[in-house]
Structure 1
Amino acid sequence: MARMGFVGVCGFVLLVSLLTLGACSSAPSKMLGAPVTGYNHTSAAINRFSVNGAGGPNLGPYLGGGAEVCCGMLPRVWTPDLRAIVEWEKDPDPYSYGKWSERPYSDAWTKRMNEHTQTYSRHKAVVDIPQYGENVCALQVHFLPCDQVRVSTTCYTPSNPKYPDRAYFEMKESTTCPVL
């Protein structure tokens, strides 16, 4: 077998290094990660929800904001047809167990809780994602009366005067909802 000289070995190492570096791309990814947070503007509890499959936190009734959960994914570049699929489970009477006479976690209480969970409803909505720029700070999901839901990508929090979704916090829950 022929022996490689010092220059040949250095050339080989340089070639392998360049090929290895070429495999690593410095181009930005096509997707952005964003924490998922929720705001519940209803008297029901949102037991769980997801946005495009990314889970969100449990939200109590009229909860102005839940903890953020990582991470939802959005395309780096917004397009006018961009939508989100939001799925959620709702407990219409989240405090009912506080009125029960059964001893908590007894067999009778567990039976009653199993019956109560049968009142939970599951929902799914496809909603528009509003235009965003280079930065997406969070996927904010607003659960509104009558099983309506909206998604926002603002970097502002509800306490900021520039927060675009302030009107949701002033909505009143209706006793009747339109049949869709």
Structure 2
Amino acid sequence: MKRRQMSRMWIIGVAVLLSACGKELPKNEASASTISGFNYSSEGIQEYYVNGAWGGGISIGGGYGTVCCVNLPERWSPDLKVTIGWRRSDCGQRGPENTRCPPLPLDFQMGQKPPEWKYRTLKKEVLIEPFDNGDTVQVFFLPDDEVKVYVTSFDPEHKDHPAKLGRPHPLDNPNWRELK
């Protein structure tokens, strides 16, 4: 009797194990993604970080540089966030000729002390915009210290880029949020 029960248990155990063969549980594994930044604000981004990974610096209306890497899940989820830290110029109101920070003097020489510029350091958690496949993490610096993060292979001026903002340039229009 005991032997018969043991045989049945063994057969059931093997059947359970075999039924799991070939079935893969859905995974959302992390993979390394490159980082690119794009500056749509009117302040220079001296440096920025994505989840602690250095992204570089971006001039006003600049971007496109790519560095490695930050780990992200391969699939998007509604609660997917990254922490963005950045240091930017903080020159205040626009001055003559639509400038913000004082320009370097024409006679400026390497080794001289540059003019004092004010800087501001910021950090915030940002929800990542929906994406289908893991790719380059693109950080968009926008007016009023807003930040959007996209994961895409398209450059910002591509017709299929989800931001629809075009090539980086300062968005001075007070209604820039409606420009999509």
Aligned pairs for 1:93-172 within 5 A: 93=91, 96-99=102-105, 103-106=109-112, 110=113, 113=115, 115-116=116-117, 119-133=118-132, 135-167=133-165, 172=171
Secondary structure class of the residue paired with 1:32: strand
Checking the alignment, whether the CA contact within 8 Å between 1:145 and 1:174 is kept in structure 2 is no
Which structure 2 residue ranges, 5 or more long, are not aligned? 1-26, 92-99, 175-180
2:69 aligned partner, one-letter code: C
Closer/same/farther in 2, CA of residues 152 and 68 from structure 1, 3 Å limit: same
Checking the alignment, whether the CA contact within 8 Å between 2:45 and 2:89 is kept in structure 1 is yes
Closer/same/farther in 2, CA of residues 44 and 171 from structure 1, 3 Å limit: closer
- TM-score normalized with structure 2 length: 0.66
2:87 aligned partner, one-letter code: E
2:68 aligns with 70
Identity of aligned residues (%): 27
Checking the alignment, whether the CA contact within 8 Å between 1:141 and 1:152 is kept in structure 2 is yes
- TM-score normalized with structure 1 length: 0.66
Aligned pairs for 1:4-19 within 5 A: none
Give the stretch that moved more between structures: 120-129 or 85-94: 85-94
Alignment coverage as a number of residue pairs: 140
Task: Indicate whether 1:89 and 2:87 are aligned.
Answer: yes
1:11 aligns with none
Q: Which has the higher helix share?
A: 1
Q: Which has the higher strand share?
A: 2
Checking the alignment, whether the CA contact within 8 Å between 1:49 and 1:88 is kept in structure 2 is yes
Checking the alignment, whether the CA contact within 8 Å between 1:157 and 1:163 is kept in structure 2 is yes
Give the stretch that moved more between structures: 145-154 or 84-93: 84-93
Task: Indicate whether 1:36 and 2:28 are aligned.
Answer: no
- Distance in 1, matches of 2:171 and 2:158, equals 21
